[in-house]
Amino acid sequence: MAESMACKKVLSWIKDRGIPSVDLYTDCSNFRALLVGDSLRFLTTLLLTFKSDENIHSSMEEANAVQDRDHKFLRRAVEEAYKAVECGHGGPFGAVVVCNDEVVVSCHNMVFNNTDPTAHAEVTAIREACKKLNRVNLSDCEIYASCEPCPMCFSAIQFSQMKRLVYGAKAEAAIAIGFGSDRIIADALRGTTFYQKANLEIKRADGNEAIIAEQVFENTKDKFPIHSK
Ligand SMILES: [Zn+2]
């Protein structure tokens, strides 16, 4: 039977300290130990400590897997943001709707293309996802947005009952190059109970992904002279 990490740690701990006359039988797969000797309580505590240590390890692995997954979909949203500018469809914003780990739709800002000020990436993605799935309830879906949603998009996300929102750049990065207006201040939205009590998990990307998402504005601002003043 393969020894688990916890068992290996216990055995090497005992060996390192030269603890005598302890027979240790372990069912490594279940982290159970039958101990013969005087050190029963001590070693049980030790084993439990190592077990929880291993739990921490597996929780960390789980968190890393979520992180990798989030990064993958967020990068797709960022690619869409660049596409919006390349195609001349709209501002540098992208959004991806995911259901059961599968991309349902991958969209970008279509404001110029549709001559529609409401055709933001998130609204477009929600419309397309509903059409594709043929339903108005997206409670089993997540949305990845290259940038923090504006109040209109945030409301649309709420109306679609999406369970999770992951975004890259902070709204301030978009506002800094002229997207959004003074009337739409991200802090004003964040401070509302509407936002705080929203029935969905809201996650802001961190590290490299946040930087990549914010760079979109710097890399595309020349395409929007009206916005780069
Ligand atoms: Zn929006």
Residues 6+ apart with CB under 8 A from 136: 130, 160
69 Cα to the center of ligand 1, angstroms: 24
Per-residue pLDDT of the chain (229 residues; tens, 9 = 90+): 444 565 666 666 666 666 543 444 444 444 444 444 445 556 666 666 666 666 667 767 777 788 889 999 999 999 999 999 999 999 999 999 999 999 999 999 999 999 999 999 999 999 999 999 999 999 999 999 999 998 899 999 999 999 999 999 988 888 777 776 545 556 656 667 777 777 888 898 888 888 999 999 989 988 875 554 3
223 Cα to the center of ligand 1, angstroms: 19
Residue type, 34: L
User: Is the torsion defined by CA of 132, 74, 217, 79 positive or negative?
Assistant: negative
13 Cα to the center of ligand 1, angstroms: 57
Supply the pLDDT for residue 1: 40
Supply the pLDDT for residue 8: 65
Supply the pLDDT for residue 35: 43
101 Cα to the center of ligand 1, angstroms: 24
79 Cα to the center of ligand 1, angstroms: 17
123 Cα to the center of ligand 1, angstroms: 7
- The DSSP secondary-structure symbol of 221 reads G
Structure tokens at 32: 């159970």
- Whole-number Å distance between alpha carbons of 187 and 189: 5
151 Cα to the center of ligand 1, angstroms: 7
Query: Which residues are catalytically annotated?
Result: 122
> Helix, strand, coil proportions of the chain in percent (round to 5)?
50, 15, 30
Q: Which residue has the tokens 């601002």?
A: 221
**CA count, 13 A, side-chain hemisphere, 170:** 10
141 Cα to the center of ligand 1, angstroms: 18
Supply the pLDDT for residue 78: 97
Supply the pLDDT for residue 53: 64
pTM score of the predicted model = 0.72
- The DSSP secondary-structure symbol of 52 reads H
Q: Which residues surround ligand 1, an ion (CB under 5 A)?
A: 120, 150, 153
152 Cα to the center of ligand 1, angstroms: 5
**3-class SS at 175?**
helix
